């Protein structure tokens, strides 16, 4: 899954693709590089990001979804917590709703997901984006994330979302201490995969990579660590990885897949 953030302030690529032509060029590039899904987002989830109105988010996301759909059959996901944005994106051709709040943000999120009939990504986050990194606490991060995700999957199914349309995501970096929570959560990824739903993993360019891997630079200096995270996810059995650097990740996953296939 290749990320296209149509935002001025995303942590890794904010402002680069806010212009519609730049966003479309970036989407084309990710498709050419081998993305199986595009994830289009119009609101940053980083701590302290400015909230975006529904109308503004729709104005950022929908023209890009429509433009990509007009020229490509690539599945398009919309990264939003707002039902109205998901609805508008699906009307423009998106087939997946990626919600970092796991359909908890609005009272009608669950019913809207069921009505739209799209795939849904239910992600774990402790708290709200604005405050999630203030002293997050877990007794057992893997078990607590697993329990939350099962609970949200059951809520989605009860609301009428079809079982085969549900994806889960452990939400690396969302209400998790950089080292004390993200690393054990990744180490326990097979437990999340064992819940029986396809798992999406987003590790790309996140700050724990800088903390663990060094390098000193900003988010775009974290390619090596991002690829390590993608390979770790593949080894644990995730169904998808959400990444900014599609060409490099596709190459790494192809090599990993070929080696793994030769072993069996």
Tell me which residues touch ligand HH2 (CB under 6 A): 3, 5, 7, 10-12, 41, 44-46, 79, 98, 100, 121, 123, 169, 171-172, 200, 202, 242
Of 121 and 259, CB closest to ligand HH2: 121
Position with the least CB separation from ligand HH2: 202
Instruction: Select from 104, 138, 207, 127 the least CA-distant residue to 175.
Output: 127
Q: Which tokens sit at 113?
A: 């997901």
Instruction: Select from 37, 55, 54, 41 the least CA-distant residue to 10.
Output: 41
- Min CB(101)–ligand HH2 separation in Å: 10
- Min CB(140)–ligand HH2 separation in Å: 21
Does residue 87 have an active-site annotation? no
- Min CB(205)–ligand HH2 separation in Å: 6
Does residue 82 have an active-site annotation? no
Of 112 and 226, CB closest to ligand HH2: 226
Using alpha carbons only, give the angle 144, 242, 74 rounded to the nearest 5 degrees: 130
Of 95 and 98, CB closest to ligand HH2: 98
Alpha-carbon distances of 65 from 61, 95, 178, rounded to whole Å:
6, 10, 33
Among 242, 254, 263, 264, the active-site one is 242
Of 3 and 30, CB closest to ligand HH2: 3
Among 206, 222, 263, 264, the active-site one is 206
d(CA 263, CA 147): 34
- Min CB(25)–ligand HH2 separation in Å: 18
d(CA 38, CA 159): 26
Q: Which tokens sit at 198?
A: 């396809």
Pair 136, 148: CB distance under 8 Å: no
Q: Give the residue numbers annotated as catalytic, written as ranges.
A: 206, 242
């Amino acid at each position: 899954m290749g990320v296209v953030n149509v935002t001025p302030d995303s942590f890794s690529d904010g402002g680069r693709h806010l212009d519609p032509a730049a966003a479309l060029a970036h989407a084309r590039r990710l498709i050419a590089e081998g993305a199986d899904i595009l994830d289009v987002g119009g609101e940053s989830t980083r701590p302290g990001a400015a909230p975006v109105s529904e109308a503004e988010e729709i104005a950022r996301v929908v023209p890009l979804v429509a433009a990509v759909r007009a020229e490509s059959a690539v599945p398009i996901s919309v990264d939003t917590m707002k039902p109205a944005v998901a609805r508008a994106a699906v009307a423009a051709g998106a087939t997946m709703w990626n919600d970092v709040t796991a359909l908890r943000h609005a009272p009608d999120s669950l019913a809207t997901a069921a009505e739209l009939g799209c795939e849904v990504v239910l992600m774990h986050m402790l708290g709200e984006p604005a405050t999630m990194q203030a002293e997050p606490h877990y007794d057992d991060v893997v078990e607590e994330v697993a329990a939350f995700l099962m609970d949200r999957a059951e809520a989605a199914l009860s609301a009428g979302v079809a079982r085969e349309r549900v994806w889960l995501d452990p939400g690396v970096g969302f209400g998790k201490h950089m080292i004390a929570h993200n690393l054990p959560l990744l180490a326990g990824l097979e437990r999340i995969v064992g819940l029986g739903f396809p798992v999406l993993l987003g590790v790309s360019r996140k700050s724990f990579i800088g903390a663990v891997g060094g390098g000193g630079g900003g988010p775009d200096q974290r390619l090596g660590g991002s690829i390590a995270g993608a390979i770790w996810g593949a080894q644990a059995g995730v169904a998808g990885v959400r990444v900014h650097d599609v060409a490099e990740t596709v190459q790494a996953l192809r090599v990993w897949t070929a080696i793994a296939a030769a072993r069996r």
